[in-house]
Amino acid sequence: MTILSQGPTLIRSKGDPVSVLYPILAALFVLAASIGLGVNPVMTLLLATLTALGVRSNVQIVNGTKYLQPYLMFLGLKLVILVYQIHFRNLPLSGVDWQFYDRFGTQLALDSGGDLFIILTNAEWDLFTRLTASVYALFGGGSEQMYFLVFVTSLATFTYIYRAGRILTGELGGVRAAMLFMVWPHEIVMSVTFLREMPIQLLVAASLYQFLRFWNTRRIAPLLLALALSLAATLMHSGMIVLPIAFAYLAIRNHRVGGIQLVRTALFIAAMLVLLRTPLAEPLLSKFDSLTDVGDLLQPGQGPDVATMEATTFYLDPAASDVPLYQLPSRMVLFALSPLPWQATSLGTAISVLIEGLPRLGLVAMLLLSYPRCRSGKPQSDVLIAGLLLSILAGYIIFSLGVSTYGSAIRHRAKFFPIEIVLAYAAFAAGPVRRAGAPLFSRRSSNVQAARR
């Protein structure tokens, strides 16, 4: 059952050799590249296997559609860029943060003596650093393997964006949302760079999918999975705390469990207050100082000078330590939309405006239209769309307080990109559906499986 609109059902052929051939080719490419880069042999085999599984899942999604060839083209492009980035590490938006994850992951692996329990329970580090340390403890050091693992997470993110979009707008809508993720410029960079943004996006996309399953089926297991995955994203970056809070509150507001109920709402607020007084709150909330880019914390001699590196991308005074309340709306708008046309001061920034800024204007416009376009008069779907939009808005507020360059803004808002792209496509698709007079809330039995898979 789709929550909003029902698109055409795609006919897929089982046993298509395309679903076997291209995953094998991608796995062989990763295998050869990993061996050439000196990655641990066991990790090399693991990376090749994960790549084959991820590409197979993706190809099965786009097979039978006109998007198969574009997907394969961009997959090949990403694989080539992946090897380039491992060698040169100079793509735009890739920054220098990978040096810190590599250094701190190595340090944590050494300090713990390779004990995975000590590594994973060390609350002094964010979850991504702990996972990096775990990989180093198991397979030895070397940041090259982390680039490949991030690429694998991008393949899984594609799958979960499709699944979430399929539940919300139908099967073809899910394919189109996933393809937008595949071709978006900053996502190409994020998928081949040793940064935590792509793993966070995977957790966000997977938690959104599980939450939409709960919204359709009222089964408690998907809700618990959605909360667990969104909390894991919070452990990677504390600014993502808005997501589990939004999911928990939306679960209370679901009209099929009674709509707005003061008792349930009071219990939810009480549970949040109790949570803040428990040891669990420390790893969740103690790192809000990481809202600024890690690169901003560089000291002389520790790496490239940030002021020089990003001098042309500042949209706010980086020296301002206090943020007056009246500046919040402008900071949030700049965070959501930068780079804007008037921020182009060089060839590089002009290219950024063309490939990121202008498409971003269209994406945000669709987000703003998602609620009025997708309103169906049914509390269940209306509350869901409004709640997801408010969670994005809350995330913008949190991150905009600590970001002053649009390079950092692109990276931080990318954490919400899976939700943004699914909602934006829903708004785009809802326009012609409404004009045609088709219902927005479809209950065709053929789509019940989409919510349960």
Are 301 and 372 a contacting pair, CB within 8 Å?
Answer: no
In a domain, 12, yes or no: no
Are 254 and 380 a contacting pair, CB within 8 Å?
Answer: yes
pLDDT of residue 446: 37
Q: Which two tokens stand for residue 354?
A: 């063309």
In a domain, 22, yes or no: yes
Does a cis peptide bond (omega within 30 degrees of 0) precede residue 222? no
pLDDT of residue 264: 58
Question: How far is the C-alpha of 42 from the C-alpha of 46, rounded, in Å?
Answer: 6
Q: Name the packing angle between helices 197-217 and 127-139 (round to 10°).
A: 110
Residue 25, number of CB atoms within 10 A of its CB: 16
In a domain, 266, yes or no: yes
Q: Which two tokens stand for residue 7?
A: 């698109």
CA distance from start to end of the chain: 11
- Which of 212, 251, 247 shows the shortest CA–CA distance to 230? 247
Question: How far is the C-alpha of 222 from the C-alpha of 444, rounded, in Å?
Answer: 22
What domain range includes position 207? 18-94+143-283+325-452
Those residues with Cβ within 8 angstroms of residue 11's Cβ, 6 or more apart along the chain or in another chain: 64
Residues of the chain with pLDDT under 70: 1-15, 255-326, 376-379, 431-453
In a domain, 218, yes or no: yes
Are 155 and 412 a contacting pair, CB within 8 Å?
Answer: no
Q: Note the helical H segments in 184-327.
A: 185-190, 197-217, 220-236, 242-253, 262-276, 281-285, 306-309
Residue 67, number of CB atoms within 10 A of its CB: 18
pLDDT of residue 266: 59
In a domain, 397, yes or no: yes
Count Cβ atoms within 10 A of the Cβ of residue 422 and give its class: 0-12 exposed, 13-18 middle, 19 or more buried: buried
In a domain, 172, yes or no: yes
Q: Which two tokens stand for residue 255?
A: 């009209």
Question: How far is the C-alpha of 124 from the C-alpha of 286, rounded, in Å?
Answer: 9
- Which of 94, 186, 194 shows the shortest CA–CA distance to 142? 194
pLDDT of residue 146: 97
Cα dihedral sign for 156, 354, 403, 390?
A: negative
pLDDT of residue 307: 36
Are 235 and 123 a contacting pair, CB within 8 Å?
Answer: no
In a domain, 400, yes or no: yes
Cα dihedral sign for 146, 148, 152, 158?
A: positive
pTM to 2 decimals? 0.84
Domain count for the chain, please give it. 1
In a domain, 309, yes or no: no
- Give the C-alpha distances (Å, rounded to integers) separating 112 from 116, 133, 134, 236, 280: 8, 9, 10, 20, 21
Q: What is the DSSP letter of 9?
A: P
- Which of 28, 128, 29 shows the shortest CA–CA distance to 86? 29
pLDDT of residue 342: 84
Question: How far is the C-alpha of 169 from the C-alpha of 117, rounded, in Å?
Answer: 41
pLDDT of residue 371: 83
Are 353 and 339 a contacting pair, CB within 8 Å?
Answer: yes
Question: How far is the C-alpha of 401 from the C-alpha of 321, rounded, in Å?
Answer: 10
> Diameter of the chain by CA atoms?
64
Are 328 and 406 a contacting pair, CB within 8 Å?
Answer: no
